[in-house]
């Protein structure tokens, strides 16, 4: 088969694409929005070549769909991944998204007995006359997706097609009794398994998910928990308010909660009080404010040194 050019393909792995679409869904759910707005939700300053490539990658996975001229919206497939009704539905949706890119489906159909080695995949893409600039990104994304599906218990070497998988999941067949790791959202009750042992006496509620989707935070703890060690015990909706972690004798105003308390110097402690919700967008703004304050203090120090 001779290819004048390689078919379209996502520039990132599925796990990274899920983190991006999660940011869009958190901000605007499934509402139709301008592509520029979607780009900003993902952390870009506006629409650009880089943001367009990212949006295209999400579309390749079926996580975004067109919603009019210059507009897009989160797909139902993405919602099935972000807020699954069952572990079977989550795995089926992951598998459908992973093989939605036509090139990835072609690779799966070529290597039917488990995923190929990186060397075998690169060799096959070369023989199929893929352009050199596409071979690296396609190989990297596909191999990462295979590892992600295995991690989530969704990989099958000779399983049913995407649609058959969704239908089997809906009918309750193909149940996997092993715990499913990852897929936690704010408000979910989770258990943390590390080194083969459960870390919580009772499940704890998620109060924060990092923008890249790799870490979660739970009520009553400042410890970051790897997403791949999280077991979702119960989906939560809507997200709960933050639980105050009060210092003895410290008073909070109505509506306030203590979101963070850290030691930042020998004699300096920081206590962050929040009124309302604190998500990735709010954290980004807080970082910018702190950076601006840091610059002001540095200028003051320079002026003081000059004066002396």
Please answer whether residues 187 and 181 qualify as being in contact, where contact means their C-beta atoms are separated by less than 8 angstroms.
no
Q: pLDDT tens-digit profile of 241-288?
A: 444 444 444 556 666 677 777 777 777 877 778 777 777 777 877 887
Confidence grade of residue 1 (pLDDT, cut at 50, 70, 90): very low
Distance separating alpha carbons of residues 18 and 26, to the nearest angstrom: 12
Domain ranges of the chain: 14-163, 189-234, 256-307
What phi and psi values does residue 3 have, to the nearest 5 degrees? -115, 125
Phi, psi of 74, deg, nearest 5: -70, 135
pLDDT bin (cut points 50, 70, 90) of residue 182 is confident
The CA distances from residue 83 to 27, 125, 243, 300, in Å, are 15, 35, 23, 49
pLDDT in tens, 108-145: 888 887 778 899 999 988 888 888 888 899 999 999 99
Which of the two residues, 36 and 170, has the higher pLDDT score? 36
Q: Which residues contact 203 (CB under 8 A, 6 or more apart)?
A: 189, 190, 191, 233, 234
| Structure confidence at residue 179 as a pLDDT band (50, 70, 90) | low
Q: What is the pLDDT of residue 241?
A: 47
Residue-level pLDDT at 2? 42
Band of the pLDDT at 196, cuts 50, 70, 90? low
Lowest mean pLDDT among 21-35, 49-63, 189-203: 189-203
Burial class (CB in 10 A: 0-12, 13-18, 19+), 139: buried
Cα-trace Rg, the chain: 23
Task: Report the run of H or E that residue 192 belongs to, with start and end.
Answer: strand 189-194
- Pick 213 or 42 by higher pLDDT: 42
pTM over 0.75, yes/no: no
pLDDT at 69 > cutoff 70: yes
Q: What are phi and psi of 142, to 5 degrees?
A: -65, -45
- For 141, left (φ over 0), alpha (ψ -120 to 50), or beta? alpha
More confident residue, 236 or 89: 89
Q: Could you tell me which of 146, 136, 134, 147 has the C-alpha nearest to residue 9?
A: 134
Q: Buried (b) or exposed (e) across 38-64, using 16+ Cβ within 10 A?
A: bbbbbebeebeeebeebbebbbbbbbb
């Amino acid at each position: 088969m001779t290819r004048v050019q390689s078919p379209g393909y996502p520039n990132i792995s599925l796990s990274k694409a899920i983190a991006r679409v999660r940011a869009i869904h958190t901000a605007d759910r499934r509402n139709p929005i301008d592509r520029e707005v979607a780009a900003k939700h993902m952390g870009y300053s506006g629409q650009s070549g880089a943001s367009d490539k990212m949006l295209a990658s999400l579309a390749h996975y079926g996580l975004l769909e067109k919603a009019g001229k210059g507009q897009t919206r989160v797909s139902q497939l993405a919602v099935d991944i972000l807020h699954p009704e069952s572990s079977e539905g989550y795995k089926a949706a992951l598998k459908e998204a992973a093989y939605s890119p036509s090139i990835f489906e072609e690779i799966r159909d070529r290597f039917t007995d488990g995923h190929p080695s990186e060397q075998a995949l690169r060799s096959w893409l070369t023989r199929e006359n893929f352009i050199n600039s596409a071979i690296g990104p396609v190989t990297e994304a596909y191999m990462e997706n295979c590892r992600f599906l295995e991690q989530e218990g969704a990989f099958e070497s000779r399983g049913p097609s995407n649609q058959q998988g969704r239908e089997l999941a809906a009918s309750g067949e193909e149940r996997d009794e092993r715990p499913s790791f990852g897929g936690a959202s704010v408000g979910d009750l989770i258990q943390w398994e590390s080194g083969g042992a459960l870390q919580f006496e009772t499940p704890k509620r998620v109060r924060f998910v990092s923008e890249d989707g790799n870490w979660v935070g739970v009520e009553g703890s400042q410890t970051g928990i790897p997403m791949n060690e999280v077991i979702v015990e119960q989906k939560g909706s809507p997200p709960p308010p933050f639980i105050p972690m009060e210092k003895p004798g410290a008073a909070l105003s109505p509506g306030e909660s203590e979101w963070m308390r850290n030691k930042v110097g020998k004699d300096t402690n920081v206590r962050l009080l929040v009124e309302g919700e604190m998500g990735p967008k709010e954290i980004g703004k807080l970082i910018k404010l702190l950076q601006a304050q840091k610059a002001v203090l540095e200028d003051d120090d320079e002026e003081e040194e000059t004066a002396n």
